[in-house]
Structure 1
Amino acid sequence: MRSPTRRSRLLKQVLAATTFFSLVYFSLNNLLPAIRYNVVPHRHPVLHDNAQSEASLGTTVSSPTVHLVIASTKADDTSWTSRLRIPNLTILRYISDDPSAPFHPPKPKGREALMCKPAHPSPKPQTQEANPNHSKPDFTYLHDFYDSLPDLTLFIHASETPWHVEGTLLRNTSFALSQLNLHQVLQQRPYFNLRVTWRAGCPAWIDTTKTHADYDEAEEPFMAEAWRANFGADEPVPEKLGGPCCSQFAVTREAIRRRPREQYRFSRDWIVDSTWSDAILGRVWEHMWPRLFTDEASDCGHAERGSLCQMYGVCFESEGELDGYKELWEERERLKERMSFLRAVWDAKKAAGAKGRFGEVNDEIERQLSVAWRRGHA
């Protein structure tokens, strides 16, 4: 008869062996497939590797000079900007949390609205980032570079793949900027919001009559005060404001100089001195850029499909074709969620099916976008 000690030892060994083989089975059937299915290929259509047309890139004799002003923190990776194929490009990276950086704001407030003061007011044009410790675009840039502006300035965030770049532009800033027709900006759209999707933004996104007791968007109760503070106490405040979101835009030298230099210094100081939160300051200015550069209260005068074609050379033949592409992109995003690591661990078979469909959807997205791109560059 086995002793209690031997019986206990045997039970432990059986339990350990059972646990070991269970872990092996789980790893082979769930964990390893989950790791494999969680690797989502980030493919760009073949058109991403195509050289742009001369009209799009501005490679004619009179190529415009361009500043790319990036709002960033020290932790942001902006190395992707070195791959941009834009002639006469100077990259100015503003770093909000590094006072020693050549470009940094006086205070890290107002998000992309508060530009930084440059240590070197007239950097040499280049195609690669001159200094990894630069910062981002805003009123400090507009004020300090006022007398040495390039033909065109692009204000962007630090991420290469922010959510607010549309699926029609691969949700990829480097792709969008590489397709942007600089000459169309200079000749037709002196202020151009890089996002062309309206969604809820048009024709009326913000109601400036809303109060702190009754509002839908957090910035609405602040809009009237911000408008008068920056444009004058006697300035009529539009009741409704609309336009694409997110404070990434292109603006020409002439559009910037429609306002005196003092305007940008005043607005910069207003942001610095404000007691409002960083989020509110950034959001109120998101709705005031059109007024600053064009005198228009809203930016809803250009349809999405037309802007994609005119400004990016991505031309869908009809609204139905564009809507179909968007549905594919939304399905792609849903499939990515189904392929997440935790979901794949829970149901590896379903993740495998999602991965297969993901490949099909990606292929169709590539096909449709390539057709639209070729149509725009025919």
Structure 2
Amino acid sequence: MLRKSRKSLLQLIFLCIVVYFFVSLLRPSAPKTFSWNTIRYKTTAKSLPEARGTCPGLEHTSKPALVVSHVAADGDTEWLNRLSSKYNLCIYEVDAPSDPTVTNLRVPANRGHESITYLTFLIDNYDSIPQAGAVFVHGSRFQWHNDDPLYDNAATLAALNVPSALAAVGYHNLRCDWNAGTCPKDFGPPQGSFENTINSILQPWSARSVSDAAMPQAFAVLFGGDEYLKHGKSKGLKLGRSDSLRSQCCAQFVVSKESIHRHSREEYVAIRQWLLDGYGMSRNSNAAPRDDRIAGRVLSYLWHILFIPQQNGPVDLDELNKQACPSAADCYCRLYGKCDLRCNLGACDGQYRVPPYMRLPQDWAELHKNDVYDVHEPGVKALHGRLYPKAFEP
């Protein structure tokens, strides 16, 4: 009798487990939400960098600011001068020799690639952001990540319709094609997954694997501050093992004045200090990774979280991902006036393709440096070369 009762009890337990399993599968899962609304990181630095990053002309301009993170290796900036009738140029010389007499367009350190420039602009020009908004770009004209058939940022910026780009949510990545970003569903394992952690250990040379593995902790520190560091509270701050944050490559975007002012100046100071605190003899172990490739790439995931407006309350991850990855067709039409393209969800014919090994031929800039674009008639250009040289033809 006892044996039968025990058997019946085990069968009942097994049945309950099966029922619970199927109910869990059929029940709609609750949205994953995160407390990514306010930057709460607190620096341990005894002093903050002096303001030397002001951009002349912002107080009276009706044009959007063009914020350029330029280093000597990017080559000359003559190509940017041709855009001055459309933009108020703010060209930061990131690796310029230290000169205390220079009080404009300087950054406190050459850290985190373009992010140090972007943050310095936001901090030192917070009260002078143009009503027309701001565009943030890298300093080289030709790069594999520029979303243009010729990888030419002069063409991209000449064609960019800033008001249209900002009309929907006040922010837009300049890239429309989904290659190289995390928009495609098969981009790789979730950033906080065990697989990604293992990849970052086995492939320490891979900036992508290592930065993806570092990102969940970095965001928890930035948005959680003392609540995370002292009390160990990670719920709503740290991506789980199966959570994927999607975004476009490659930290070039346009943003409205209103979206910038969604966050206080002190928040941008905190992000920059998180970046700066990760370097030097007094390095803070909770701050940015020492490797610039990693720190800069972690912050490249942050911009759309800061600038895409969310409902009051926690950030819905699924909704954020949808907003961060509009279809290529909608993007090309909205940003560049190319509205009759043949497209699938993430790419359009003839607009962009990843070059071999993500590198342009050595003579690419020389071949196309004389291409001129009309900023008053976006997309119109006098072009002397072919669309693709032989190295890029099938």
Contact conserved, 2:144 with 2:354, CA < 8 A, in 1? Answer: no
Letter in 1 for 2:198: A
**How far 1:86 sits from its partner (Å)?**
4.4
Which letter maps to 1:83?
Answer: R
Gaps of 5+ in 1: 1-62, 116-137, 341-357, 364-378
CA 1:97–1:304: 2 relative to 1, 3 Å: same
After superposition, the C-alpha distances for 1:220-269 in whole angstroms (9 at most, x for unaligned) are: 22101111122223543342111211111111110011011111000011
* Residue 173 (structure 1) aligns with: 153
* 2:290 aligned with 1:291: no
For the structure 1 residues 316 and 143, does the alpha-carbon distance in structure 2 shift closer, same or farther, using more than 3 Å as the test?
same
Selected match of 1:224 from 196, 216, 221: 216
Q: Does 1:325 align with 2:350?
A: yes
Q: Percent identity of the aligned residues? A: 27
Summarize the Cα distance change of 1:278–1:332 in structure 2 as closer, same or farther, 3 Å threshold.
closer
Residue 253 to residue 300, structure 1, CA distance change in 2 (3 Å): closer
Deviation at 1:199, TM superposition (A): 2.1
Residues 290-334 of structure 1, C-alpha deviation per residue, up to 9 Å, x if partnerless? 1111256535441011100111001234327x754259x679999
1:194 alignment partner, one of 174, 181, 187: 174
Amino acid at match of 1:282: G
Mapping of residues 226-245 of structure 1, within 5 Å: 226-232=218-224, 233=228, 235-238=236-239, 239-245=243-249
Q: Cα 1:258–1:157, aligned 2, differ >3 Å: closer, same or farther?
A: same
The corresponding residue for 2:26 is: none
Structure 2 residue aligned with 1:80: 79
- TM-score of the superposed pair, with normalisation by structure 1: 0.60
In the TM superposition, 1:90-129 aligns within 5 A as: 90-98=88-96, 99-100=98-99, 101=102, 102-115=104-117
| CA offsets 1:155-189 (integer angstroms, 9 cap, x no match) | 11111111111244x31111111111111123224
- Tell me whether 1:185 sits opposite 2:165 in the alignment: yes
Q: How big is each residue's C-alpha offset from its partner over 1:79-104, in whole Å with a ceiling of 9 and x where there is no partner?
A: 101111643x2211111222325322
Question: How far apart, CA to CA, are the structure 2 residues paired with 1:224 and 1:333?
Answer: 28
Q: State the shift of 1:190 in Å.
A: 1.2
Counterpart of 1:160 in structure 2 is 141
Q: Does the Cα contact within 8 Å between 1:185 and 1:252 map onto a contact in 2?
A: no
Matched position secondary structure for 2:263: coil
Structure 1 residue 145 corresponds to structure 2 residue 125? yes
User: CA 1:247–1:182 in 2, change beyond 3 Å: closer, same or farther?
Assistant: same
Task: Give distance in 2, aligned partners of 1:105 and 1:258.
Answer: 23
CA RMSD in angstroms comes to 3.3
Contact residue 210 and residue 220 of structure 1 kept, 8 A: no
Please point out which of 69, 83, 87 is paired with 1:71: 69
Structure having the higher helix fraction is: 1
- Residues in 2 aligned to 1:218 and 1:304: alpha-carbon distance in whole angstroms: 28
**1:34 matched residue in structure 2:** none
* Cα displacement (A) at 1:280: 0.4
CA distance in 2, matches of 1:180, 1:196: 12
Name the SS of the counterpart of 1:271 in structure 2.
helix
In structure 1, the partner of 2:329 is: 305
Aligned pair in 2 of structure 1 residues 318, 281: CA closer, same or farther (>3 Å)? same
Distance in 1 separating the partners of 2:357 and 2:244: 32
Give the number of aligned pairs: 257
Q: How does 1:363-374 map to 2 (within 5 A)?
A: none
For 2:260 and 2:210, how far apart are their aligned partners in 1?
Answer: 28
2:250 aligned with 1:246, yes or no? yes
Contact 1:203/1:300 (8 A) holds in 2: no
SS of corresponding position for 1:69: strand
8 Å CA contact retained: 1:72, 1:95: yes
Counterparts in 2 of 1:203-282, with a 5 A limit?
203-204=184-185, 205=187, 207-210=190-193, 212-215=197-200, 217-232=209-224, 233=228, 235-238=236-239, 239-275=243-279, 276=289, 277-282=291-296
| Partner SS for 1:207 | coil
Structure 2 equivalent of residue 346 of structure 1 = none
Higher Rg of the two aligned structures = 1
The answer to which structure, 1 or 2, has the higher relative contact order (CA under 8 A, 6+ apart) is 2
